Chain A
Amino acid sequence: MNKIYVFYCENAKEIETANNNIKFVKLPCSGRLDEIMILKAFEDGAEGVIVLACYEGACKYLSGNIKAQKRIEYTKKILKGVGIEDKRLEMHYLQANQDEKFKEILKNFKKTVSE
């Protein structure tokens, strides 16, 4: 079974709790994201990690989403070093009313992870 972690900014997505194999982690802003959070998710046995942030220029805290992007690029390098493919970590921009887009992202991500 695919176990997927979703880190989401509370301004970018509706608040959601557990959903069979998907674990949702709410963040006050995507800038709160830490490398250790992502690495611990993989340690916990995650098949993949999705990070959802607000669109550029729409961050409530001005530059949190840009900071998150930089951290994710850095984390991908670490993942490569320990032998995890970087396709297992994805970042997407979302708005709170784009639930359909989130479902599509999840569907595509499940496909890429199970390949």
Chain B
Amino acid sequence: MREISVSKEVLILGSGIGGTRVSLNLSSSGLKVHLLERKPAVSCLELKDKVKQNKDINLITSGKLVNLKGQVGNFEVKILKENEEVNLKVGAIVIAEKPNFKFIKDDFGIDLSDNIITQSQLQRILNPEGKKRRDILNIARETPDNICFILSNASQEGRASTVFCLKNSLILRKKLGSEVYVLCKDLKVAGDGIEKIYRETRDSGVVFLKYKSIPEFTLDKDNPNLIIEDYYLNKKISLPFDLLILDERILPDENFKELSSILKVDLDERGFTQSENINLYPVNSNRKGIFFIENHDTDLYLDDILEEAQLIVEDIFCLLSKGKIIVEEKVSLDAGKCALCLTCVRSCPHKAIEPGFDKEADKKCAVIFPEACFGCGICAGLCPAKAINMVE
């Protein structure tokens, strides 16, 4: 048993809805928060003012994380801000970088134009704070009579695009009163309240059509058409449209790779930070004290992000609120036997072992940090000199 003092400060990377929510909740529970954003301004518009007014939140804009040392409780962070170095000592880190929405032409086989737009373009138009609000009327010169949404197969893995599509089609149907069609292959409505939105959308008069393959388009200037093969009628239907809204894929940000190498956290095959492992909680990374929010593709809509934010806040509060943690050594290292071959440093899944110096033996050897250790014993199994043993 050993007591380790921890820093009561938290670093949050990214100021989307997840990052700002976590920082607000953490600051109200008595911890100091550093909010780091790569861009010059906070990206979550709704909570922007609250973050700026809060005294416990230290906002660092247009800054970049360059280096990280140490383990949970005592991370030493180096941030580069306009050629100025900022050194911080934080207890925990939350990665709240958002993934990208990207339109891929091959999914549909057509280009974007004035009346063919993507979901995120529509979102920007419908956003009450956006200046382009009236553009939707300009696009089709007058109120569009027929609006078509297409959900592609590729984006069906996550629920986010389905929820965006349902909500936006309902808004368009109610505000503009035009005919709205949603073309999809499958509709995923599992989750809190999604089926309710679906029923509401259906009741309001939005027509859902199930297609067999991606529709064909005939793009005349006067009357653009699309032809779909309906799944139930088993024949081809021609559908005129004034406004076509296409689906996008959710792809990991290029920044993830750099971040993961600095923070030494794992990425999965697709480049997202949260792997689908049943033994891991969705917000936890492979290292203790580093958490993820908002950067996976399955649950990107608001309710789930807020739920994850609450989970992270509870975890960090338990970890740091007392200013010290009590740890138990699960493995012991015999410094005399250690030849510093770095096998354990390489193989530790939680990066809890670092090369260091032992004072008693007066030699360089590997050092195991008990605060970051999970006690799996992989290092003990692999050590060629048998210098590491599990504590009974």
Contact = CB atoms under 8 A, between A and B. Distances in A.
Question: Real complex partners, A and B?
Answer: yes
Interface of A: 11, 27-29, 31-34, 57-64, 67, 71
A31 B277 contact: no
30 contacts: A11-B279, A28-B375, A28-B377, A28-B390, A29-B376, A29-B377, A29-B378, A31-B376, A31-B377, A32-B376, A32-B390, A33-B381, A34-B381, A57-B276, A58-B277, A58-B278, A58-B279, A60-B277, A60-B280, A60-B374, A60-B376, A61-B374, A61-B378, A62-B349, A63-B349, A64-B349, A64-B376, A67-B378, A67-B381, A67-B382
Contacts of A33: 381
B115 interface: no
A64 B381 CA distance: 10
Contacts, number: 53
A31 to B, nearest CB: 4
B interface secondary structure, majority: loop
Contacts of A11: 279
* Top-8 shortest CB links A-B: A32-B377, A31-B378, A61-B376, A60-B279, A29-B376, A62-B349, A32-B381, A28-B377
B47 interface: no
A19 B57 CA distance: 59
Nearest to A63: B349
B305 to A, nearest CB: 25
B380 interface: yes
Residue picked from A29, A60, A61, most chain B C-beta under 10 Å: A61
Contacts of A67: 347, 378, 381-382
Interface in B358-392: 374-378, 380-382, 390
A29 B374 CA distance: 11
A67 B346 CA distance: 13
Given A32-B376, A64-B376, A59 B382 contact: no
B266 interface: yes
Residue picked from A32, A57, A58, most chain B C-beta under 10 Å: A32
A32 B344 CA distance: 12
B286 interface: yes
A28 B376 contact: yes
Contacts of A34: 380-381
- Assign chain B's interface to a size class: 10 to 19
Contacts of B286: 62
B331 to A, nearest CB: 10
Nearest to B278: A58
Contacts of A29: 376-378
Given A31-B377, A32-B377, 15 more contacts: A27-B377, A28-B376, A28-B377, A28-B390, A29-B376, A31-B382, A32-B378, A32-B381, A34-B380, A58-B277, A58-B278, A59-B277, A61-B376, A62-B277, A71-B381
Contacts of A58: 277-279
Contacts of B350: 61
Contacts of B380: 32, 34
Nearest to B350: A61
Contacts of B349: 61-64
A57 B349 CA distance: 13
Residue picked from A57, A59, A62, A63, most chain B C-beta under 10 Å: A62
B146 to A, nearest CB: 45
A49 B153 CA distance: 47
Interface in B263-292: 266, 276-280, 286
B119 to A, nearest CB: 31
Contacts of B381: 31-34, 67, 71
Contacts of B375: 28
Contacts of A64: 349, 376, 378
